[in-house]
């Protein structure tokens, strides 16, 4: 009888469950109810064979995810932002490295400005601010898809005009050509806005989350596997 073999998904689930069980056994009495500090989490993770840096990045990523904001227009994501409390002050060198990473990630040179304790990098509607926070400095990344927003608004206006022309022509028995033209324009504008908008929002969200999490933990690292894409908005 051949020995039982496990598929990829089963292997992942087995290791995940085993790691979770090992960590539960290492928890101090009452720790789960009272909460644990990052240092305590790292100590427990080390006993379970997990690197402290990995624990720190996972904890920061959870906080950064909670700070996500999505701006919507008629239910569609037209803007994305992330905020992270760094808990420290970035050095001039770290800020310069962050700017380099932003340029590489978003494929945009952009511009920088320093005003007292506020530092800004921007390219079109894409903005990154470093400012004094509750503890240390606060990093905020935000962008708005300007073209998609304009197409959506234009489409809604055109569809509204189409409905108006349709009702008017029905009442006075006039030709329906204005209604047809306006309706076609409205549908075209909305379709143009929908094309790739959800993908754009998800991509920007992932990029911002990765940059914010890495900067919070140890400052902007060298450019590695950061997802890159141009951002003209």
117-123: long-range pairs with CB below 8 Å, 24+: 119/95, 123/231, 123/232
Q: What is the tens place of the pLDDT at every residue in 166-198?
A: 777 655 545 566 666 666 666 666 666 667 788
What pLDDT score does 193 carry?
A: 64
Query: Is the pLDDT assigned to residue 143 strictly greater than 80?
Result: yes
Least confident range of 110-114, 154-158, 224-228: 224-228
What pLDDT score does 213 carry?
A: 80
180 and 229 assigned to the same domain: yes
131 and 194 assigned to the same domain: yes
Total count of domains within the chain = 2
Q: What is the tens place of the pLDDT at every residue in 67-124?
A: 678 888 777 788 899 888 887 888 999 999 999 999 999 999 999 999 988 999 999 9
39 and 86 assigned to the same domain: no
What pLDDT score does 223 carry?
A: 44
Burial of 139 (C-beta count, 10 Å sphere; 0-12/13-18/19+): buried
Biggest alpha carbon–alpha carbon distance for the chain: 85
What pLDDT score does 28 carry?
A: 61
90 and 46 assigned to the same domain: no
Q: What is the tens place of the pLDDT at every residue in 109-129?
A: 999 999 988 999 999 999 999
To the nearest whole percent, how much of the chain has pLDDT over 90? 18
Q: Is 136 left (phi over 0), alpha (psi -120 to 50) or beta?
A: left
Counted residue by residue, the chain has a size of 233
Q: Which domain holds residue 38?
A: 8-50
Please check whether residue 187 lies inside any domain of the structure: yes
Please check whether residue 55 lies inside any domain of the structure: no
Q: Which phi and psi angles does 179 have, rounded to 5°? A: -65, -40
C-alpha closest to that of 175 among 165, 184, 183:
165
**Segment 3-9 mean pLDDT:** 72
Q: What is the tens place of the pLDDT at every residue in 129-138?
A: 999 877 788 8
38 and 147 assigned to the same domain: no
Rounded CA-CA distance 131/169 in Å is 57
Rounded CA-CA distance 170/214 in Å is 61
């Amino acid at each position: 009888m051949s020995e039982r073999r496990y598929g990829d998904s089963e292997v992942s689930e087995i290791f995940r469950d085993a790691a979770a069980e090992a960590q539960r056994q290492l928890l101090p009495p009452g720790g789960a109810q009272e909460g644990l500090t990052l240092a305590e989490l790292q100590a427990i993770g080390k006993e379970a064979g997990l690197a402290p840096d990995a624990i720190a990045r996972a904890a920061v990523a959870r906080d950064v995810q909670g700070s996500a904001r999505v701006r919507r227009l008629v239910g569609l994501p037209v803007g994305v932002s992330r905020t992270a409390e760094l808990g420290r002050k970035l050095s001039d060198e770290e800020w310069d490295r962050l700017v380099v990473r932003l340029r590489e990630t978003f494929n945009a040179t952009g511009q920088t400005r320093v005003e007292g304790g506020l530092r800004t990098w921007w390219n079109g509607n894409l903005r990154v601010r470093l400012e004094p926070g509750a503890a240390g400095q606060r990093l905020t990344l935000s962008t708005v898809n300007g073209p998609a927003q304009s197409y959506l608004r234009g489409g809604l206006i055109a569809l509204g005009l189409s409905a108006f022309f349709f009702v008017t022509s029905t009442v006075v028995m006039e030709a329906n050509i204005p209604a047809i033209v306006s309706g076609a324009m409205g549908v075209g504008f909305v379709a143009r806005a929908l094309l790739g908008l959800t993908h754009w929002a998800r991509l920007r969200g992932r990029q911002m989350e990765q940059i914010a999490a890495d900067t919070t933990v140890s400052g902007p690292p060298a450019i590695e596997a950061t997802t890159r894409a141009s951002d003209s908005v």
